[in-house]
């Protein structure tokens, strides 16, 4: 893929409900660096919708664990963490084998970027660029299962069937569970969850009763603070509720005066930047990432791409996500 421009296009969040595509000069890679030309990047429907709305703490770091996401949520800023591209230029001292390589990067949405090889992950054989853009979501789903530790015969509920919820349902369906139930307002996503192995699926209902003795394990992945109360209502004695949602600045009001206290329900936060401490003796991020690659190869998740926009139409892409979130599963930007 030759470099066909002296400028790059980059997406900036400039204010709540406002993004801009700006042109910037393309620099040459320095010693130990490479220049990557983007092919595809995925918009995170949960995190980036919060960012688009301005519902994030402005004094919070973009992501302290990702080298290419420095700074804070202060306008204007770049964001995004799901990028697939091709290495098109090498700086001094970089091995020639990197030239032309297809790579994944946790990097904001822009047509070209300079980074170092240690921030890139070459695509494994037979993993397409369309599948590779789902790597962060699959890694998150793997992490959710490590945190939840499903047990044979358990009754499991997943609230929210966005991309992370769907992939979590897919992984849970590989377990010998007694039941796997999904809860999701969008009919398209409910149907996808059934295709991925859910036994039953429902719309969110505050009075929904699924099991006589409650669920054993519940995942709250909807991004909706109200769903956490439904998770508590569905829980049984000593149930585990894994909270994978990030609510940003949205406040969560919980009813803890009912069954929560006497039922010994456990609320467990899960976030992919770290691994659960009790597995750290045997698991690390490299092992988790390798498992995520394997599961992507098995699932081929490009089927979940519902919309593609060239980066020049990023404004329309974010407007669609905001106006019709239930009509989208995965929005992809092309370059």
Q: Quick: pLDDT tens for 20-33.
A: 999 999 999 999 99
Say what the pLDDT of residue 246 is. Answer: 84
**Residue from 160, 102, 158 nearest 133 by CA:** 102
> What pLDDT, on the 0 to 100 scale, is given for residue 176?
98
Q: Band of the pLDDT at 62, cuts 50, 70, 90? A: low
Decide if pLDDT at 1 tops 60.
Answer: no
Q: How confident is the model at residue 65 (pLDDT cuts 50, 70, 90)?
A: low
- Give the mean pLDDT of 243-248: 87
Amino acid 248: pLDDT: 79
| Position 92 confidence tier, pLDDT thresholds 50, 70, 90 | very high
Residues 259-308 have pLDDT tens digits of 888 889 999 999 998 999 999 999 999 999 999 999 999 998 999 999 99
| % of the chain exceeding 90 in pLDDT | 77
pLDDT tens digits, 190-211 = 999 999 999 999 999 766 788 8
Residue 307 pairs with which residues in a beta bridge?
331
pLDDT for position 67: 65
Residue 57's pLDDT is 74
CATH 3.90.180.10, the chain: domain bounds: 7-128+300-334
Structure pTM?
Answer: 0.91
* Residue 64 in this model has a pLDDT that exceeds 90: no
For residues 81-119, one letter each, b for 16 or more C-beta atoms within 10 angstroms of the residue's C-beta and e for the rest, the string is: bbbbbbbbbbbeebeeebeebbbbbbbbbbbbbbbebeb
What are the E-state strand segments in 136-232? Answer: 155-159, 179-183, 200-202, 215-220
CA angle 193, 199, 202 (to 5 degrees): 65
Average pLDDT for residues 311-318, to the nearest whole number?
97
Every domain of the chain with CATH number 3.40.50.720 lies at 137-279
Nearest alpha-carbon partner for 150 in 66, 233, 200, 219 = 219
Are 180 and 172 in contact by the 8 Å Cβ rule? The answer is yes
| Mean pLDDT of all residues in 46-62 | 81
CATH 3.40.50.2000 fits 7-128+300-334, yes or no: no
- Classified by CATH at the fold level, domain 137-279 comes out as Rossmann fold (3.40.50)
């Amino acid at each position: 893929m030759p470099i066909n421009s002296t400028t790059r296009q980059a997406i900036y969040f400039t204010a709540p409900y406002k993004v801009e595509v700006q042109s910037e000069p393309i620099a040459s890679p320095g010693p130990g660096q490479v220049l990557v030309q983007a092919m595809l990047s995925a918009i995170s429907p949960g995190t980036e919708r919060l960012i688009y709305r301005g519902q994030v703490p402005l004094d919070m770091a973009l992501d302290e664990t990702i080298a290419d996401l420095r700074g804070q949520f202060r306008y204007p800023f770049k964001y995004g963490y799901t990028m697939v591209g091709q290495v098109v230029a090498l700086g001094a001292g970089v091995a020639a084998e990197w030239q032309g390589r297809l790579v994944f990067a946790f990097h904001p949405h822009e047509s070209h970027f300079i980074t170092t090889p240690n921030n890139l992950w070459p695509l494994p054989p037979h993993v397409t660029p369309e599948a590779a853009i789902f790597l962060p979501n699959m890694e998150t789903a793997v992490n959710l299962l490590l945190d939840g530790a499903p047990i044979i015969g358990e009754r499991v509920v997943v609230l929210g069937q966005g991309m992370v919820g769907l992939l979590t349902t897919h992984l849970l369906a590989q377990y010998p569970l007694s039941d796997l139930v999904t809860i999701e307002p969008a009919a398209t996503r409910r149907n996808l969850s059934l295709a991925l192995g859910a036994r039953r699926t429902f719309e969110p209902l505050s009075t929904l009763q699924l099991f006589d003795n409650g669920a054993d394990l519940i995942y709250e992945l909807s991004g909706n603070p109200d769903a956490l109360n439904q998770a508590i209502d569905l829980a049984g004695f000593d149930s585990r509720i894994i909270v994978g949602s990030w609510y940003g600045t949205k406040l969560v009001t919980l009813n803890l005066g009912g069954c929560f206290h006497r039922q010994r329900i456990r609320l467990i936060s899960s976030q992919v930047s770290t691994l659960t401490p009790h597995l750290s003796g045997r698991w690390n991020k490299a092992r988790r990432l390798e498992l995520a690659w394997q599961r992507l190869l098995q699932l081929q998740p490009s089927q979940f791409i519902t919309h593609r926009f060239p980066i020049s139409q990023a404004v329309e892409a974010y407007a669609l996500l905001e106006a019709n979130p239930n009509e989208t599963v995965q929005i992809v930007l092309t370059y």
